[in-house]
Amino acid sequence: MGKLKITDNWDSKADLVLYCGDCLDLLGRIPSGSINLIVTSPPYNIGKSYERRTSLDDYLRWQQRIIDECVRVLSDNGSICWQVGNYVDNGEIIPLDVLVYPFFQQHNLHMRNRIIWHFEHGLHASKRFSGRYETINWFTKADTYVFNLDPVRVPQKYPQKRYFKGPRQGELSGNPLGKNPSDVWDIPNVKANHVEKTIHPAQFPVELVERLVLSMSNERDWVLDPFMGVGSTLIAAVMHNRRAMGAEISSEYCQIARDRVDLAQRGELRVRPMERPVYDPNGGTGIPPKMVYLPGSDPESLFVREKSARRGHT
Ligand SMILES: C[S@@+](CC[C@H](N)C(=O)[O-])C[C@H]1O[C@@H](n2cnc3c(N)ncnc32)[C@H](O)[C@@H]1O
């Protein structure tokens, strides 16, 4: 495979589309039913540097328009993963997934999981418990949908455990490929010491998106992130030979997304490996960051190759 074909607007022949502008403009150009997987985290309307806080009603009306368009462009066996946390008003939290759930329900989408993404770093609350999880809300358009469990299995807790009686006595009782990762995911969020950190205050860890991409799409499928930020979804998608598309309204973040893709094409982008256990203060994990190789960056190893690099990151 040659170098990625990267375009700045919808092009069915591209490998990667980086749209620097409003996601509704990009969505409007995408033909119905052409996207296999949508993974995104929208602004939460909480006054982060990349958003202008509006009334909750206006925010929800805007989100509904985007969700309507996402459902339109989604293929019949496709999935949407809407990753959100809480809207906070005067110290009161309102879970955004509860508020946007009806927008998916109106289109008769089916919710398959409400994944709890648990992480360790964030603001320290003084009048409530500090928030340390957000949710990934997975919807499908139909009952027939892509779900590949084997590529995302995680190590069994007791890999040598065997049946001790019955017809299978002595055989391994767990799947030797590993177990289902469940709907509670312990994945470090991207804060100061993370190997993927950019200037973006709320970027996805690439490994979180990798798990979604590997399980919910197939090679050469289209993966879309309408709020791509610094392009983490796109990186995870192209690492695994999917086509990827994203929109980002901030030209600065859009440029960083482009720079990250270029680094990956040169084999110089470092990401935290999916296989690395969460930081254990009592000892290292022995798994260093891995370098991302995209088509054209290294003919022998097209996508991902383990390499020794800097140690000591979460
Ligand atoms: C929560 S962040 C997403 C970060 C992203 N997951 C990443 O890994 O970098 C939401 C992003 O949406 C962008 N955004 C806000 N309004 C937008 C719009 N109308 N169209 C496209 N992007 C928008 C913001 O600039 C911000 O970068």
Nearest ligand 1 atom, CA 50: 25
- Average pLDDT over every residue of 111-132: 95
The CA distance from 207 to 314, in Å, is 12
Chain segment 169-218, per-residue pLDDT in tens: 998 888 889 999 999 999 999 998 899 999 999 999 999 999 999 999 99
Contacts of 209 (CB under 8 A, 6+ apart): 39, 232, 233, 235, 236, 237
**pLDDT value of position 285:** 61
- Average pLDDT over every residue of 16-23: 98
First to last CA, the chain: 33
CA–centroid distance, residue 260 to ligand 1 (Å): 16
CA–centroid distance, residue 203 to ligand 1 (Å): 9
- Average pLDDT over every residue of 148-177: 90
Specify if 310 maps to a domain.
Answer: no
Closest CA to 257 of 52, 66, 13, 17: 17
| Tokens of residue 218, six digits | 């197939």
Q: At 151, which CATH number?
A: 3.40.50.150
CA–centroid distance, residue 190 to ligand 1 (Å): 15
The residue type of 121 is: H
For residue 305, pLDDT beyond 50: no
pLDDT band at 64 (very low <50, low <70, confident <90, very high): very high
In this structure, the residues whose C-beta lies within 6 A of any atom of ligand 1 are: 22-23, 41-43, 50-51, 200, 202-204, 227-230, 232, 247-250, 253
Specify if 287 maps to a domain.
Answer: yes
For residue 307, pLDDT beyond 60: no
Specify if 312 maps to a domain.
Answer: no
Q: How many domains does the chain have?
A: 1
**pLDDT value of position 119:** 95
For residue 312, pLDDT beyond 70: no
At residue 269, the 3 state secondary structure works out as strand
**pLDDT value of position 90:** 87
The CA distance from 224 to 233, in Å, is 8
The CA distance from 234 to 245, in Å, is 7
**Cβ–Cβ under 8 Å, residues 205 and 196:** yes
Query: What average pLDDT does the structure give for the chain?
Result: 90
Nearest ligand 1 atom, CA 232: 8
- Average pLDDT over every residue of 284-303: 66
Specify if 42 maps to a domain.
Answer: yes
Nearest ligand 1 atom, CA 247: 21
- Predicted TM-score (pTM) of the model is 0.90
Specify if 227 maps to a domain.
Answer: yes
pLDDT-wise least confident of 149-153, 160-164, 309-313: 309-313
The helix-helix angle for 96-105 and 56-73 (nearest 10°) equals 40
- Average pLDDT over every residue of 98-112: 98
Specify if 1 maps to a domain.
Answer: no
CA–centroid distance, residue 80 to ligand 1 (Å): 16
Q: Which residues constitute the domain of residue 196?
A: 6-305
Chain segment 107-119, per-residue pLDDT in tens: 999 999 999 999 9
The neighbour count for residue 151, using CB atoms within 10 Å, is 13
Nearest CA to ligand 1 atom 5: 229
The residue type of 305 is: R
Specify if 283 maps to a domain.
Answer: yes
**Cβ–Cβ under 8 Å, residues 287 and 278:** no
Specify if 314 maps to a domain.
Answer: no
- Average pLDDT over every residue of 243-257: 98
Among 20, 223, 248, 256, residue to substitute to test ligand 1 (most atoms within 8 Å of Cβ): 248
For residue 314, pLDDT beyond 80: no
Closest CA to 78 of 237, 233, 221, 226: 221
- Average pLDDT over every residue of 304-310: 40
Contacts of 70 (CB under 8 A, 6+ apart): 27, 35, 38, 40, 80, 224, 226
**Cβ–Cβ under 8 Å, residues 133 and 119:** yes
Among 189, 227, 235, 256, residue to substitute to test ligand 1 (most atoms within 8 Å of Cβ): 227
The neighbour count for residue 267, using CB atoms within 10 Å, is 16
Q: What angle do CA 298, 147, 229 make, to 5 degrees?
A: 55
